Structure 1
Amino acid sequence: MYRIVEKIMILFFIYFFIYTSTTENVSKRSCNIISGSSTLQCFGMYSEDFSKITFNEILENLECVRCNLGNIPPETFDFEDNHLFTLSLKSNNITGLVPFTFVGLDYLRKLDLSNNSIQIIIPGTFKGIKNVVIFNLKRNKIRRIEKNSFSELENLVHLDLSDNLIIDIYPGAFNNLNKLRLLELENNKLKILQDGFQFPSNIEELYLGNNVLNKLQNKFKINNLLKLYLSNNDISVIPKNYFSSVINLKEIYLNDNKIIELESNAFNDLKNLEILNLNNNTLKAIPFDLFSELLRLKYLDLSKNSLKIISLYTPLPELITVNFSHNYINKILIPTGNVAKLFNLNYLDLSHNNLSYLDYVELYQNAPKLILLNVNHNNLPCNTEKEMISYFPLDNFSLNIDNNASILCNVTKNSNIMNNLVEIEELITNHNGHNHVPFLYGLLIFVSVFILIIGLILYKTYVYVKRCKERDLTQLNETVTHHTAYESL
């Protein structure tokens, strides 16, 4: 024990020495070039210290570590021979930016201001860095995006404004961002978008998840949009033809909302859509023609809703994966005949529903490439498993059918007993026109409980007798041992 404590104390002192040494080095206001690179790393700097740095054409990256920059004044980075491509000021206690803060950084391509305390973006702040391509403002305290906040960044491709406190984006906030392809606005406080506001028309990926959007206005007139993330909001209704202005869309994520209704043709004109995620909403029904134009759909997730009936009548020739799990489905409408409406379907999840019957023959004819079928936690009778195993080819097919209603299996296994009970019930019911079935069931329950009690008593008695015999045998062995020892003396 002493050695263990001694080792722990030694490790503690080593850690303390390393930590204090590092803290002392970091606390020193210094800049050093990282060996073998073109990166200048500065420690403990203040905004006014940058004017003292001597730059040359070799340096391409500037990184500040544990600096205390506060409110950065104008022209802080305007010094001679400045050819910086990357400027990382993340986690440096920046509280504010003013116009002309970054003048002099003509070659800058990447700017990282994440994890600071910036509250507002003043128009004109980014004059002089029009060549920036990637701009990270994640994890700040920005509440509003004013008009022309980023208008100087005409070559910007990726803008990250996630994890802020944004409640309003004013019309014209993204003016002049004609090259923007990726806009991240997730984890903010957006509830509604201002009248007159439009997203840049060339965006390809738009992240609006984890906000409080409760109403979808027609703001997505984005011809090049490919991916739209609207998960974890308060959306309740998807209007008809809502996405008709984003016809090139390939992925829509509407999971974890409060959607109770999908209007007919809500996804009309989305002929290029490949992924549709509606997981964890409150849908009770889906329109018959909802997916009629989604001929390229590959992945469909409708799990964790309140659906009771689903239809597989809509031809979806490229669909590969469908998830209907965790609903209340008790009926599946499957077209008859060898029509193969789901020709490429590989994975179908129907687990955690209320299915008591599944026409697997017609299902397989409509989905001949099915390789995984999950029907766990349903009400299917146990003979279904045996029938399906014998029907499907085992070399390339996997069936999950565990944890179905055990009482149905017991009924199936004891069908003869049930038939006899039915005959007895009919006989007693017809005798003198009186129904004695309740009495019979009560008698059966009484007899069953009586037999269970007798069995329990017999078992307890057996255990008691066995323990007594073992105890007597042990005492006898001890007596013989003592006697033998006494005689030997």
Structure 2
Amino acid sequence: MDCANLNNPDIFDRTIIPGDTQTLKLANNRITDEKQLEETLVTLTSLRELQLHGNELAKLNEATFAQNCNLEVISLGHGNAGMKLPETVFVGASSVKILDLGAAFTKIHPELFSPLTNLEYLFLQFNEKLEYVDASSAQIDSISDNAFTSSTALKQVLLRRNSIKTLEPETFQALEELSWLDLGRNELQIIMPGTFTANTDLKILDLDQNLIDTICPTAFSGAKDNLESINLAYNRLPEELNKNFCLDECDGDIGEFWNILDALFSNSTDCLILQQVSSGFVRFIQLEVEHSMP
């Protein structure tokens, strides 16, 4: 049912929405009444797609979408500026696969996305004031290289306990204020040159419990002045690198990390890769990677 772009804040009073509606487009109507919205949603148990972007909602309440057990797509951004979202707003919305909060300028609670166990696509673009994102345990298997391009104020990004397999060097390039990045317990295998070059304020980098067997020293060069902790424990790296390095009370000192890189790499363009040999042992070789630096 398409009721979008009518510029009608009283849309719920003037429209009868059938109970078997599967797609409901309410975008750009200047809707402000979240209670009327909830009363309408309760009746729409077959709803699969809901477009609410471009309205003037100031807040949503706990379990707003709990009755919509088939709901897969929610668009809330691009309007609704500053909308308050309680950490429980998505309780009961486990079927949601696509969530668009682009340009919503909303605060993201650490547990906001926890109920969205089937979430596949999350859009946060144009949230220029967004400083913190926790998408841990969100079943994410990939991140596009422009995922954070328009969220340049981000300082903390937590992506722990997902299934991320690759990182493009451009993924975090726009986040010059990034201070903490947690990518632990994913399925990363290689850290490419230039991956963290632009993150000069990076202090904490968690890469533990991945499958990393290839590492390139220039991936971290931009963070050398400020990096206080890098956790590489439980990967497939040489024993001397397979540690948690920090300033105090870790497996190794952060200065030791940089010294090891300097000792292992004779050429700054090389990468260290794990290689199985016929004898059954493993050895580490230096591999020159051709990659254009940003």
Q: Same fold (TM over 0.5)?
A: yes
In the TM superposition, residue 268 of structure 1 has moved relative to its aligned partner by 4.6
Secondary structure of the corresponding residue to residue 315 of structure 1: strand
How far apart are the structure 1 equivalents of 2:112 and 2:293?
A: 45
1:108 aligns with one of 36, 44, 47: 47
Give the conservation status (yes or no) of the 8 Å contact 1:226–1:251.
Answer: no
Give the conservation status (yes or no) of the 8 Å contact 1:72–1:96.
Answer: no
Secondary structure of the corresponding residue to residue 286 of structure 2: coil
Distance 1:233 1:315, change over 3 A: closer
How far apart are the structure 2 equivalents of 1:261 and 1:128?
A: 42
Pair 1:129 & 2:71 matched: no
Distance 1:108 1:143, change over 3 A: closer
What letter matches 1:97 in structure 2?
E
Give the conservation status (yes or no) of the 8 Å contact 2:140–2:164.
Answer: yes
What letter matches 1:108 in structure 2?
L
Which residue matches 1:146? 86
Give the conservation status (yes or no) of the 8 Å contact 1:74–1:101.
Answer: no
Give the conservation status (yes or no) of the 8 Å contact 1:71–1:95.
Answer: no
How far apart are the structure 1 equivalents of 2:177 and 2:58?
A: 28
Distance 1:316 1:125, change over 3 A: same
Which residue matches 1:243? 183
Which residue matches 1:406? none
How far apart are the structure 2 equivalents of 1:125 and 1:290?
A: 39
How far apart are the structure 1 equivalents of 2:31 and 2:61?
A: 15
Number of paired residues?
A: 241
Secondary structure of the corresponding residue to residue 40 of structure 2: coil
Higher relative CO (Cα under 8 Å, sequence separation at least 6) belongs to 2
In the TM superposition, residue 159 of structure 1 has moved relative to its aligned partner by 0.9
What letter matches 2:21 in structure 1?
L
How far apart are the structure 2 equivalents of 1:162 and 1:273?
A: 35
How far apart are the structure 1 equivalents of 2:138 and 2:223?
A: 31
Pair 1:232 & 2:189 matched: no
Distance 1:83 1:68, change over 3 A: same
- Unaligned ranges ≥5, structure 2: 239-265, 276-283
Give the conservation status (yes or no) of the 8 Å contact 1:123–1:150.
Answer: yes
Distance 1:135 1:176, change over 3 A: same
Which residue matches 1:315? 272
How far apart are the structure 1 equivalents of 2:161 and 2:68?
A: 26
What letter matches 1:159 in structure 2?
L
Give the conservation status (yes or no) of the 8 Å contact 1:124–1:149.
Answer: yes
Distance 1:208 1:260, change over 3 A: closer
Give the conservation status (yes or no) of the 8 Å contact 2:200–2:225.
Answer: no
In the TM superposition, residue 64 of structure 1 has moved relative to its aligned partner by 2.5
What letter matches 2:268 in structure 1?
S
Pair 1:342 & 2:284 matched: no
Which residue matches 2:155? 214
How far apart are the structure 2 equivalents of 1:261 and 1:317?
A: 27
In the TM superposition, residue 258 of structure 1 has moved relative to its aligned partner by 4.0
How far apart are the structure 1 equivalents of 2:8 and 2:84?
A: 22
Pair 1:162 & 2:102 matched: yes
What letter matches 1:341 in structure 2?
Q
- Unaligned ranges ≥5, structure 1: 1-61, 296-308, 319-338, 352-489
1:153-192 → structure 2 map (5 Å cutoff) = 153-166=93-106, 168-188=107-127, 189-192=129-132
Identity %: 19
What letter matches 1:233 in structure 2?
L
Distance 1:257 1:120, change over 3 A: farther
Distance 1:231 1:144, change over 3 A: farther
Q: What TM-score comes out, normalization by structure 2 length?
A: 0.61
Which residue matches 1:305? none
Which structure has more helix as a fraction of its residues?
1
Q: Deviations over 1:195-230 (max 9, x none)?
A: xx76444233564551422245xx433233457754
Which residue matches 1:435? none
How far apart are the structure 2 equivalents of 1:161 and 1:78?
A: 25
Give the conservation status (yes or no) of the 8 Å contact 1:88–1:113.
Answer: yes
Secondary structure of the corresponding residue to residue 102 of structure 1: helix
Secondary structure of the corresponding residue to residue 159 of structure 1: strand
1:92 aligns with one of 4, 26, 29: 29
